[in-house]
Amino acid sequence: MTSAAPTTDRTTTQRFRGRGGLSLVLGVALAALLVAGCGSSSSSSTSSSSSTPAAPATTPSTSSSSTSSTGGATAKSTVSVAANPEGELKYNTTSLTAKAGNVSIDFTNMSSLAHNVTIESSSGTQVGATPTFQGGSKTLSVDLKPGTYKFFCSVPGHRQAGMEGTLTVQ
C-alpha cells in the first residue's frame, strides 16, 4: 500500500490564515491601546493645597484683618482658622470676628482626618462651606451682613464632638 501524502484543501488553509491574520490585527490593536493608555500622565484632579505648613498655634487666637477700600466699595475681611493638627475634633479657636462685606476664611487642615468649615446664619441657613479635605489649606469667600454666625465642621459627628465656634460680623 502506498501512503498518501496528507492533502489540505485550499479552504482549510485560507481559514487558518484568515484567523491568524485576525489574531495578529487584534493583538496589535490591543497593544496600541495599552501603550496609549499608559502614555498619558495628565490628571483631571486639582488641588488647592498649600505647600507651606501652618505655624502651630500655641494659644487660641482670634485672627482678623480687614482692608477697607475707598470710594464706597464693600469692606473685605480675612480671618483664619485651623483644625487641630493632632487629630482632636476641634479648631484652634472658637471665636472669630470679621467686618461686614466680603469675608475670606482661610482654613488650614494639617490633621490626618478630613475636615471642612461650614458657615451657618443665626436662622440655621448654610451660607457657605469649604470642601472637605485633609492636608493643606482652602479659602472660603462669602458676603456676610452684620450678625452672629456659627462655623463648624459638617463631617458627621465632628460638630457634635465640639468642632464649632462663633463668627461675629460687625
Domains detected in the chain = 65-169 (2.60.40.420)
Alpha carbon distance 71, 92 (integer Å): 36
Residue 58 in this model has a pLDDT that exceeds 70: no
Q: What is the structure's pLDDT at 41?
A: 39
pTM of full prediction above 0.75 = no
Instruction: Tell me what pLDDT residue 64 has.
Output: 37
CA distance linking residue 10 with residue 166, whole number of Å: 88
CB neighbour list of residue 109: distance below 8 Å, 6 or more residues apart: 82, 83, 115, 133, 134, 135, 136, 137, 138
Q: How far is CA 9 from CA 19, 96, 108, in A?
A: 16, 90, 78
96 HSE (CA, 13 A, CB side): 32
Average pLDDT over the chain reads 74
